[in-house]
Every structure is written in structure tokens, then in C-alpha cells.
Amino acid sequence: MRKLEVIEYFGGVSKTASALGISHPAVCRWGEVIPEKQAFVIERLTKGNLKYDSSLYQKSTDSAA
């Protein structure tokens, strides 16, 4: 799940933090892809409007050349 879509859904960083019961700085520290644990919570909270995407959380098995 991408940070931008979550923030847009909830209407801003503060509203996202409030909906999740976490701090504003915690949301700000998310990378482009939000923490996996939060993605599960958000999918439930939004009744599936935002979906957990397991492909975003898979470790790359490609070896660098």
C-alpha cells in the first residue's frame, strides 16, 4: 500500500494518524510503501477500499551482477 493513496483517502497526514491511532510524525516517517502491519490495519479500517498488496512487501531474490 502506498503512502500517498492512504493519505489521500483519509484526507491528510493528521487525519491518517488520527484514524490509525498513531502520531503525525509516525506517518511522516513512512516510506513510499507503508509498513506492512499498517497496511493490514488500513485494509480492515477502510472495509477493503484500500487493499493490502503482498507484492509490495516481497523481498527481491534478484542478485546484483
Spatial contact of 45 and 25, defined as CB atoms under 8 Å apart:
no
Residue owning grid cell 516510506: 31
Q: Which amino acid is at 12?
A: G
Which of 44, 52, 54 shows the shortest CA–CA distance to 19?
A: 44
Q: What does the pLDDT read at residue 60? A: 64
Which tens digits make up the pLDDT trace of 46-59?
999 999 999 999 87
Domains of the chain as residue ranges with CATH: 3-54 (1.10.260.40)
pLDDT of residue 25: 98
Q: Is residue 6 helix, strand or coil?
A: helix
Task: Tell me which amino acid residue 4 is.
Answer: L
Q: pTM score > 0.85 for this model? A: no
Say if residue 27's pLDDT is above 70: yes
- List the grid coordinates of 6: 492512504
* Radius of gyration for the chain, computed over Cα atoms and rounded to the nearest angstrom: 13
